[in-house]
Structure 1
Amino acid sequence: MPKMKTHSGAKKRFRISGGGKVLRERAGKRHLLEHKPSSRTRRLSMDAVASPADAKKIKKMLAR
């Protein structure tokens, strides 16, 4: 059977932590940043853990 190919869109958006959790970037930090508070933009800079329901699908797309 051939190898599973990694989903190109998923590999650009998600990564797996050392403990096996799926990390994603937070939405809302691409544009219109001038009027958003600095505290909010700093919070949006941090990575978030994907929900367990989505993590299963993401890991499949990343061929893990």
Structure 2
Amino acid sequence: MPKMKTKRAAAKRFKTTGTGKLMKMNANTSHILNKKTTKRKRQLRKAVEVDESNVKMMKRLLPYSK
């Protein structure tokens, strides 16, 4: 059985916490920032947990994460 490969695109976008949760950065932070409020932009800086419906697929892309 060959080694499983990590999907590098997913590895760059998702991080695993110590307890095994997957975290991602928010979208909508790269351009067209004039119309977004300061509060909205500040809240988008924080990482958020990946939705439960996507976790199973993400774990398959990242076989060596917790």
TM-score, with normalisation over the residues of structure 1? 0.91
- Runs of 4+ more than 3 Å apart: none
Identity of aligned residues (%): 36
TM-score, with normalisation over the residues of structure 2? 0.88
Give the aligned residue type for 1:51.
D
Could you list the runs of 5+ residues in structure 1 that have no partner in the other structure?
Answer: none
Could you list the runs of 5+ residues in structure 2 that have no partner in the other structure?
Answer: none
Query: Which residue pairs with 2:21 in the alignment?
Result: 21
Deviation at 1:35, TM superposition (A): 2.6
Cα distance in 2 for residues equivalent to 1:35 and 1:52: 31
